[in-house]
Amino acid sequence: MTYYPIVLFTYKRLDLTKKVISALLKNPEAKRSNFIIYSDGPKNQNDIFEVNKVRKYLKTLKGFKSVELIFRK
């Protein structure tokens, strides 16, 4: 069976990001799927802290075949 990658785009909503990833991990095929996550960079100084919280969480992810993180400036 062919497993296609899962792609997720994130910004600064940590709670929503956690909910989405939690739902994905409930799928039995998650452990056979490559997961690619794009994290947009902060648009202004006010967003830096929230974006960094999301990125810190993303660095801890497990449960997928692989996790590729792409952080934009």
**31 secondary structure, DSSP code:** G
Q: Which domain holds residue 20?
A: 6-71
3-state helix, strand, coil in the chain (%, to 5): 40, 25, 35
Q: Structure pTM?
A: 0.91
* Residue 26 is assigned to a structural domain of this protein: yes
Query: What is the chain's pLDDT, residue by residue, as a tens digit (73 residues)?
Result: 889 999 999 999 999 999 999 999 999 999 999 999 999 999 999 999 999 999 999 999 999 999 999 999 9
Dihedral sign for Cα atoms in the order 4, 12, 42, 67: negative
What type of residue is 27?
A: N
* Residue 44 is assigned to a structural domain of this protein: yes
* Domains: count for the chain: 1
* Residue 16 is assigned to a structural domain of this protein: yes
* Residue 13 is assigned to a structural domain of this protein: yes
First to last CA, the chain: 36
Q: What is the per-residue pLDDT for 30?
A: 95
Q: What is the per-residue pLDDT for 1?
A: 83
* Residue 42 is assigned to a structural domain of this protein: yes
